[in-house]
């Protein structure tokens, strides 16, 4: 079994359709799907808000690199262009965690090195896994506690929408 937590986001084009394309592409591998959130951009680049969600997935044939490659394929299919760090994008798919794997590989750092700093990851993740934990600096910390440590401004920039992603069986 390979269980992963993926964070997906978009703020260019039909953002909801870009997010839905990931859910559709993962099909029956989707175990849980968060509500869709509107979130202020992260990283200081002036741009419109993002739509974000978290997906918990499972595939016995995938490892962390397999989830990374799938995410990159979804990004390519959405015509993702990497121009500016933390800039606007049609689709961003991040592997937040994969099983208990820890990796310092620059291609795939696990758990995601900044997930604990991002309310747009933590809030939707708590929707689907209220007891979630995340290793940070060698210590296992409840996601709820990590969220409480974030600046109020960071948390206030994440708003649940009425938009919804739909699981569709293949």
Residues with a catalytic annotation lie at: 80, 89, 92, 94
- Separation CA 24–CA 27 (nearest Å): 5
- Separation CA 52–CA 148 (nearest Å): 19
H or E segment to which residue 55 belongs: strand 50-58
Q: What angle do CA 120, 30, 121 make, to 5 degrees?
A: 10
Q: Is there a contact between 17 and 141 (Cβ–Cβ < 8 Å)?
A: no
């Amino acid at each position: 079994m390979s269980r992963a937590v993926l964070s997906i986001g978009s703020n260019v084009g039909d953002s909801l359709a870009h997010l839905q394309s990931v859910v559709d592409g993962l099909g029956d591998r989707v175990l849980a799907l968060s509500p869709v959130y509107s979130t202020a951009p992260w990283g200081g680049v002036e741009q419109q808000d993002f739509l974000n969600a978290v997906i918990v997935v499972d595939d016995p044939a995938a490892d962390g690199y397999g989830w990374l490659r799938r995410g990159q394929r979804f990004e390519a299919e959405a015509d993702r262009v990497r121009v500016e760090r933390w800039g606007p994008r049609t689709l961003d798919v991040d592997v937040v965690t994969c099983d208990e794997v820890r990796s310092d590989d620059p291609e795939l750092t696990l758990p995601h090195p900044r997930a604990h700093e991002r309310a747009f990851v933590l809030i939707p993740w708590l929707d689907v896994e209220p007891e979630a934990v995340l290793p940070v600096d060698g210590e296992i910390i409840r996601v709820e506690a990590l969220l409480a440590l974030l600046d109020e401004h960071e948390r206030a920039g994440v708003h649940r929408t009425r938009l919804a992603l739909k699981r569709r069986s293949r």
